[in-house]
């Protein structure tokens, strides 16, 4: 099985990218992750399964709860992980647009 290709397939999905970004800031349980999405809980579980299978996430048992952690080593292997970069520019340009609309209105 081509694991590398699987990683790229894993991050091709916007929900899975959003999950990775969420877990990047802190380890979370499946329930806490699902609470951030409108998607049905089983759908989120399926995404978590795929992300865990290709080692982008790893599970850790803490008492009765299972926490999902980001596997930064695996993340580094993805040279084409450009979504956060795109998001950063999108945020900047959205601000530019809002500021200049305001500027235009005040002229």
Partner 1 sequence: MEPKTKVHAEAGKQELVITREFDLPLELVFKAHVEPDLVEQWMGTKVLKLEPKKHGSWQFETTDPIGNKHGFNGVFHEFVPNRKITRTFEMESAPFGAQLEFLAFDELSPTTSQLTMHVIYRSVGIRDQVLQLPFAKGINMAHNRLQDTVNKLITNSL
- Residue 62 CA to residue 64 CA, distance in Å, equals 6
Q: Output 5 or 41, the one with its CB closest to partner 1.
A: 5
Maximum Cα–Cα distance across the chain = 61
User: What secondary structure does DSSP assign to 59-94, as a single string?
Assistant: EEEETTEEEEEE-HHHHHT-TT--HHHHHHHHHHHH
CB of 104 vs partner 1, minimal distance in Å: 6
Query: 25-64 mask for partner 1 (x: CB under 8 A)?
Result: xx--------------------------------------
Radius of gyration for the alpha carbons in the chain, expressed in angstroms and rounded = 17
Check: CB of residue 59 under 8 Å from CB of residue 66.
yes
Which region, judged by CB under 8 A, interacts with partner 1, from 18-26, 29-37, 38-46, 54-62? 18-26
Cα–Cα distance measured from residue 89 to residue 83, given in angstroms and rounded to the nearest whole number: 10
Stretch in the footprint of partner 1 (CB under 8 A) among 36-44, 49-57, 60-68, 74-82: 74-82
Tell whether residue 94 is a contact of partner 1 (CB under 8 A). Answer: yes
- Interacting residues toward partner 1 by CB under 8 A: 21, 24-26, 70, 72, 75-76, 79-82, 84-90, 92-97, 99-101, 103-104
């Amino acid at each position: 099985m081509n694991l590398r290709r699987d990683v790229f397939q894993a991050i091709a999905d916007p929900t899975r990218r959003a999950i990775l970004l969420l877990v990047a800031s802190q380890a979370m349980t499946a329930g806490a992750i699902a609470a951030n999405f409108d998607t049905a809980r089983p759908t989120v579980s399926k995404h978590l399964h795929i992300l865990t299978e290709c080692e982008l996430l790893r599970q850790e048992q803490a008492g009765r709860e299972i926490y999902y952690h980001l596997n930064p080593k695996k993340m580094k292997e993805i040279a084409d992980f450009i979504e956060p970069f795109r998001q950063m520019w999108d945020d900047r340009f959205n601000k530019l647009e809002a500021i200049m609309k305001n500027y235009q209105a005040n002229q």
